[in-house]
Amino acid sequence: MEPSKKDWLLYREKIAGWQEAYMEKLIKEYVDYLNGDEPASTKFWRMEKRIKQDKVSPGVSIELRKKDMVFDLVRLINERVITFDDLEEFSDELREYVEFIQQRLSY
């Protein structure tokens, strides 16, 4: 499915806000963890590993390509960066296709 121009423009408009909210959530998780009782060295190395993993999430870094948009939306939903409700402004066709792909990939 080729996303419509309207859906593509809306996606480009929303992705930065979605990423910002996701990174804010990550920062809160980091702070909670860092305020824990483990030794500093343990926290340091676990945080280094966690940040390395988080950096490749579409909630942090994504290459915007129209042809990948539907699959990127599915990844964003599956990795809990956004919810399906975040797609309410998009076309019915796009939302149905995202839901279809998500269900197919769930099996």
- Tell me, yes or no, if the pTM score tops 0.85: yes
Dist CA 8 CA 104 (whole Å):
23
Q: pLDDT per residue over 19-40, tens digit each?
A: 999 999 999 999 999 999 999 9
Dist CA 5 CA 11 (whole Å):
10
Number of domains the chain contains: 1
pLDDT tens, N- to C-terminus, the chain (107 residues):
899 999 999 999 999 999 999 999 999 999 999 999 999 999 999 999 999 999 999 999 999 999 999 999 999 999 999 999 999 999 999 999 999 999 888 75
Q: Are 15 and 62 in contact (CB under 8 A)?
A: yes
- Give the range of the structural domain holding residue 85, as residue numbers without chain letter: 5-106
